[in-house]
Amino acid sequence: MTGKQTRSVRIEQPSVNKVTAFALGGLAAFLTLLLLTKIQAAGFTLFILVFLVAVFVYVYRAIHVEATATPDGISVQNLVRSADFEWSEVDVLAVIPTKSGSGTGVTVELKNGSTMPIEASWGPWYQGKMSAETTKRCERLIEDIRSMRRYDPQVDAPETPAPVDPVIVRVATEQDADLVARIFDAAWTETYSEILPGSLLLDRKSADDAQMLRELLDGSIPMAGSVLVERDGDVVGASVFAPTTSKGVEDYMEIFMLYVRADELGTDTGRRLVLRSFNEIRASSALGIVGNVYVNNRKLRSQIERMGVATKGETHEQVWYGVPVKVVEYSLTF
């Protein structure tokens, strides 16, 4: 963020991305000139020159992708297009996986339902093992933008306390088992009270869930884990995952539970919980993620599909606490 006078936040690629793009452009130019000295053909010369121009255009755009946020709106220039949006047009700035590759970046989601990725938030080659660091970088940039928009020029900035993010996402431990079980108990009732048989809700026992979670988080099951999301110190959502036993995806992790409280729907807590859970699973060296969702849970299914996660196979039946339930499986390969 710059000083009080300009009051803006700029999102641009890390320097390593710019250097890489410049190096690729130089290599392409060298190889092109080398071919021109070896092959003397008018048609080929024209083709190779057009190719070189295309490479230079791509490198130029790759180096200059960026976004600038001001109190009035945000300007975005990515590899494909440029656009200016007023904040009244913007629904949310979201940190989500990119649609291509394994990168993570900031996306401008508009109130009309369209989106525009800020590619400078991750860069064409800034992905894979750097995903967790990129996620933190993107979240810091969004918080900088929020702080910039909240800034009051009438208040002496040095005496104004820095804004505190009320939402914290963290990895759960064995000591959190009872806490996770309680949030699942509340979220289960809120989520399924109108779409599952009452007997299924009554038969669940929070104590049984807590014991199961302790066994899952005590380290005896490799790569098993849980993620909590808190708002102002209160746990409002959680996920639980472990190696899957499904056939054909033996090296995948399965998300067994992923819930946020009903009053958190529509906020960024669910998105941050999903993204942190994905990053924790990715860091475990799993090849991908699978998960089964109740077929009539339209809200969760819509959120998952909006992030580009596809269904796998047909609707099938599982037994939840002794009751047969129709579910659909989602699968994401890293």
Report the CATH number that the domain containing residue 324 is assigned in CATH. 3.40.630.30
**Predicted local confidence at residue 1, as pLDDT:** 39
Rounded average pLDDT over 76-104: 77
User: Is the pLDDT score of 199 beyond 70?
Assistant: no
- Mark whether 190 and 316 lie in a shared domain: yes
Give the closest residue to 103 by CA, choosing from 133, 76, 62: 133
Query: What is each CA distance from 306 to 105, 114, 126, in whole angstroms?
Result: 15, 11, 23
Q: How many domains does the chain have?
A: 2
Last residue of a domain, one of 159, 184, 211: 159
Rounded average pLDDT over 33-45: 67
- Mark whether 154 and 202 lie in a shared domain: no
- Mark whether 230 and 298 lie in a shared domain: yes
**Predicted local confidence at residue 227, as pLDDT:** 93
- Among the ranges 71-75, 138-142, 264-268, 310-314, which has the highest mean pLDDT value? 71-75
**Predicted local confidence at residue 241, as pLDDT:** 92
Q: Look-up: residue for tokens 């472990």?
A: 242
- Mark whether 198 and 57 lie in a shared domain: no
Last residue of a domain, one of 108, 142, 159: 159
Query: What is each CA distance from 290 to 47, 59, 140, 220, 237, in whole angstroms?
Result: 46, 37, 29, 21, 19
What mean pLDDT is reported for the chain? Answer: 77
**Predicted local confidence at residue 120, as pLDDT:** 66
- Mark whether 178 and 250 lie in a shared domain: yes
In a domain, 256, yes or no: yes
In a domain, 79, yes or no: yes
- Mark whether 105 and 193 lie in a shared domain: no
User: Distance between CA 249 and CA 257 in Å, rounded?
Assistant: 18
When pLDDT is cut at 50, 70 and 90, the band that residue 118 belongs to is: confident
- Mark whether 132 and 210 lie in a shared domain: no
| Residues 222-244 pLDDT 10s | 888 999 999 888 888 899 999 98
- Mark whether 112 and 28 lie in a shared domain: yes
| Residues 141-198 pLDDT 10s | 888 888 888 765 554 445 555 567 788 899 988 888 888 888 887 777 777 666 665 6
Run of H or E including 247: none
Give the closest residue to 240 by CA, choosing from 264, 214, 262: 214
Rounded average pLDDT over 276-301: 85
- Mark whether 150 and 71 lie in a shared domain: yes
The residue with greater pLDDT, 332 or 130, is 332
- Mark whether 307 and 328 lie in a shared domain: yes
Rounded average pLDDT over 256-285: 84
pTM: 0.51
Q: Which domain holds residue 101?
A: 9-159
- Mark whether 50 and 142 lie in a shared domain: yes
In a domain, 3, yes or no: no
- Mark whether 118 and 203 lie in a shared domain: no
Last residue of a domain, one of 96, 129, 159: 159
When pLDDT is cut at 50, 70 and 90, the band that residue 12 belongs to is: confident
In a domain, 2, yes or no: no
In a domain, 34, yes or no: yes
